[in-house]
Amino acid sequence: MSGETTSESAEVVRACAVARQIEEFDLLIEDMEAELGADWGGLTFDNAPGILTSEIAENLEFIAVAVDQEDEKDLAPVANVIRIAKEQNINVILVPHDLNTVALHQLMRMGADDFAPYPLPEGALRDAIERVKAVPEPVAAPVAAAAATAPIEVPSRNGIVLPVYGLAGGVGSSTFAANLAWEMQQLLLKENKKVCILDFDFQYGTISTYLDVPRTEQAFEFLSEAASADAEGLKQAMSSYKETLDILPSPPDALPLEFVGADEINHLIELATASYDFVIIDLPLALVSWSEVVLEHAHLYFGLVELDMRSAQNTLRFMRTLKAEDLPYEKVQFVLNRAPKFTDMNGKTRVKRMADSLEIQFRFQLPDGGKQVANAGDEGEALRELAAKNPLRKEILKIAKTISELASDESE
């Protein structure tokens, strides 16, 4: 595959793959050929800016920007390519390989339209192409006509998806999800950023309990018609915590987890990301047909565990499943809840032994918040409101600050 596209092929070039060395991404080359035949070209970060601003780029539908650990040393050339592509209204699909979390989110923040991890799972590039092609082009219209014919605001955000998954019952995943969402929303209020939380545990979801919002029939009806749902329907199905944080609660009655299928879940997440800057998803313990869809959409996937045998065994099973199915397991960020105190050297040793034996890293460690956590849940209030000095709340706030920085105004 050549590293440059010539003007002679401009009429048939529908897409480009851009990388420091495109030959290192052989699976991407195969998938580009499978999807586009000969109607694509390969570029480097050095020659891409010139090509993307030339006549050759007039017919480009998208570019696939492939990056790896070597590119982390200097992301400026990558960022420049993404910026130029967006200025030219060219869709950008990011294809990262072993990229660290900070670098990945920096690039997503710069305007990448979609994400397909490398090595590419089967069909991942095709799905990403379909998603970016499905995004409607903005249509200019007179102000008066727009006010008369389109009073509903058209969603235009590109939300970051943050699922929260407890690898054993009672590890605190719903508590973490609810409080993380509230902390992030409070941090982002001044920037006019919006956070929502989707409770996808259709049987026994507890987000509505922890934040004291009603389980409505409207939410049930919305989920029942998820395939044809639109942004306005999502907005109407939402309940609100303190008139600030939007929540899609679990239905009033316990439903089968397969009540909503994979295609419908995919559509719901796309609606949410178009309407909110951050989409937090509280997941059920059971793995179902649509679990893979959530993982594919995730930018970070929080896996909560405790320092016990059941968490260890379930983590081992979970990671084996992801690897066996060639799913992007590198997205999973493990969070150890009720972690040992700083002075508990024996506990610290157990944490290290558990991480080493499972071949994982604990990205975050949450302290035990004690009875205040249970009391806040019973009263339907976030820890921020009832126990602001609680050690668990302080740690969740730190995590929220780290994540919410990704939504800072680029114009500042």
Average pLDDT for 45-71: 91
Domain boundary among 100, 119, 134: 134
| Dihedral sign for Cα atoms in the order 327, 329, 333, 335 | positive
User: Same structural domain for residues 71 and 176?
Assistant: no
Q: Are 116 and 136 in contact (CB under 8 A)?
A: no
Average pLDDT for 286-297: 95
Read off the CATH number of the domain in which 289 is found: 3.40.50.300
Q: Are 323 and 329 in contact (CB under 8 A)?
A: yes
Q: Which of 6-15, 183-192, 378-387 has the lowest mean pLDDT?
A: 6-15
For residues 101 and 385, what is the distance between their CA atoms, to the nearest angstrom? 30
What one-character DSSP code corresponds to residue 362?
E
Q: Are 88 and 68 in contact (CB under 8 A)?
A: no
- Within-domain flag for 1: no
Instruction: List pLDDT tens digits, range 329-344.
Output: 999 999 999 999 988 9
By the 10 Å C-beta count (0-12 exposed, 13-18 middle, 19+ buried), 138 is classed as: exposed
User: Same structural domain for residues 102 and 23?
Assistant: yes
- Within-domain flag for 152: no
Show Cβ contacts of residue 338 under 8 Å, excluding neighbours closer than 6 positions. Answer: 172, 306, 307, 366, 367, 368
Alpha helices (H) in 192-308, listed in sequence order = 207-210, 217-224, 231-237, 262-275, 291-297
Instruction: List pLDDT tens digits, range 128-180.
Output: 888 887 754 443 333 333 333 334 344 567 899 999 999 999 999 999 999 99
Strand order in the sheet with 15-18: 40-43, 15-18, 62-68, 91-97, 114-115
Instruction: List pLDDT tens digits, range 192-238.
Output: 899 999 999 999 999 999 999 998 889 999 998 888 899 999 999 99
User: Same structural domain for residues 120 and 261?
Assistant: no
- Within-domain flag for 370: yes
- Within-domain flag for 150: no
Read off the CATH number of the domain in which 69 is found: 3.40.50.2300
Six-digit token string for 287: 């793995």
In which band, very low, low, confident or very high, does the pLDDT at 318 lie, cut at 50, 70 and 90?
very high
Counted domains in the chain: 2
Domain that holds residue 129: 7-134
User: Same structural domain for residues 201 and 300?
Assistant: yes
Alpha helices (H) in 21-142, listed in sequence order = 26-36, 48-52, 76-87, 101-109, 124-134
Chain-wide mean pLDDT for the chain? Answer: 87
